[in-house]
Amino acid sequence: MKTFIETIHFGVKNWWVSLLLGLLYILIAIGLMFTPLASYVALSVLFSVSMFVSGTLETIFAITNKKNISSWGWYLASGIIDLILGVYLMTNVGLSMAVLPFIVAFWLMFRGFTATGYAMDLKHYGTRNWGWYMAFGILAILCSIGIIWQPGIGALSLVYMTAYTLLLIGIFRVMLSFELKSLRKKDKEHYE
């Protein structure tokens, strides 16, 4: 079974989706950093909307690349999980404050593991900077573990840990988008 990066010669469509997701995560992270005293309700609404948008974009990416990427089902599953959680959180604004840290942490952890998987694909394809991508994924996982480990410290720590983790994932997605664009261009030149 070929990985995402191995099938790059078919021309990955919509590489810019990763860029949009990265920018979305970075903007949300910056917003959270500048409003640390915002209530959990505000965080819940912000987070649920971003998960819904993220799920929509990732689902579109998976469906439009299903002929080009053999592991497109994983991308589709990731998008559907984000969509379901986003809709659930948007319809339950009064979500229990004790549950929100765990939902956020496990979602961020899933994103961190996804990032490490992308990094391994990039390593396999021969990208020199794959270690940076791996580092961002591992840092995201560690931040999410920190949220799980200390969920009761309060809203401030949850907001900052979430912001830092979203910032790491956002930077990873932006870097990945430019890497994919570069690999696609290089591959097009190779096959012309």
Domain ranges in the chain are 12-185
Which residue in this structure is represented by tokens 């965080």?
43
Q: What whole-number percentage of the chain has pLDDT above 90?
A: 11
What is d(CA 80, CA 83) in angstroms, rounded to the nearest whole number? Answer: 5
Upper half-sphere CA count for residue 148 (Cβ side, 13 Å)? 12
Supply 10's token pair: 């078919």
Q: What is the mean pLDDT of residues 176-190?
A: 77
Upper half-sphere CA count for residue 192 (Cβ side, 13 Å)? 7
> What confidence tens digit (pLDDT) does each residue in 141-169 have?
998 888 888 776 655 677 787 788 889 88
Average pLDDT value for the chain: 79
For residue 151, give the DSSP letter. Answer: G
Residue-level pLDDT at 24 = 92
Residue-level pLDDT at 90 = 81
Supply 69's token pair: 């990427």
**C-alpha distances in Å from residue 5, one per residue of 57, 103, 150:** 19, 30, 37
Cβ proximity of 114 and 135 under 8 Å: no
Supply 58's token pair: 């990732």
Cβ proximity of 33 and 163 under 8 Å: yes
Q: What whole-number percentage of the chain has pLDDT above 70?
A: 80
For residue 1, give the DSSP letter. Answer: -
Highest mean pLDDT out of 38-52, 147-161, 169-183: 169-183
Which residue in this structure is represented by tokens 């994919």?
180
65 phi, psi to nearest 5 deg: -115, 15
What is d(CA 76, CA 62) in angstroms, rounded to the nearest whole number? Answer: 5
pTM of the model: 0.55
User: Is the pLDDT score of 133 beyond 50?
Assistant: yes
Highest mean pLDDT out of 90-99, 110-119, 157-166, 179-188: 110-119
Cα 152 to the chain's mean position, in Å? 25
> What confidence tens digit (pLDDT) does each residue in 48-106 have?
788 889 899 889 988 988 887 777 788 888 889 989 988 887 887 766 556 777 877 88
